[in-house]
Amino acid sequence: MNLQAALPFLLPKAIAWAERESQRIANSGRALTEREQKLAREVGVTRVEQIRIALVDALPLPDDPELRAAALQTGLLGSDTAGLTLGYSIFVCEGYETVRLLTHEFRHVYQYEQAGSIADFLPGYLQQVVEVGYANTTFEKNAQAHERES
């Protein structure tokens, strides 16, 4: 798939999917512990009490065939990915709930906060993903730079 060409068409579907998944976890995920709230504040999050974490067997994948194919092609939701942040909602694969992964995902929460919403964050983020690749986006590098070991 030519992701660059497909992005304008996929973007509204990606936003709708992300908002739906985020809402699902807002209702069912767990809140942060005191310790985790402190870590989230330390990497820049303002509204730490809004964050919810859901432990999952596998990250969610869109039902929409094209959106699903694009997510897998970019590596965003591939088998190498253990965490996914959508607004204040964080998906973590079972067995990967480390301080390092959590601080990385908290920094993505901060990035969403800076943008204002999922609908405001995803256009710039996904544009970069298709241009330079998921691992090379400024957002990913910024999250990596804020990972903590403990």
Q: Residue numbers of the site for Zn ion (CB under 5 A)?
A: 140, 143
Q: Which of 59, 55, 58 is nearest to 18 (CA)?
A: 59
Question: Of the two residues 66 and 144, which places its CB atom closer to Zn ion in the complex?
Answer: 144
Shorter beta-carbon distance to Zn ion: residue 17 or 106: 106
**Smallest gap from residue 137 Cβ to Zn ion (A):** 9
Q: Are 45 and 51 in contact (CB under 8 A)?
A: yes
Residue closer to Zn ion by CB (options 18, 143) is 143
Q: Which of 104, 83, 89, 95 is nearest to 149 (CA)?
A: 104
The residue with its CB nearest to Zn ion is 143
Rounded to the nearest whole angstrom, what is the least distance from the CB of residue 143 to Zn ion in the complex?
Answer: 4
What is the rounded CA–CA span in Å between residue 118 and residue 98? 25
Rounded-to-integer distance, Cα 132 and Cα 150, Å: 30
The least distance separating Zn ion from the CB of residue 108, rounded to whole angstroms, comes to 6
d(CA 50, CA 31): 8
User: Considering the complex, what minimum distance in angstroms separates the CB of residue 65 from Zn ion?
Assistant: 25
For Zn ion, which is the closer residue by CB, 3 or 101?
A: 101
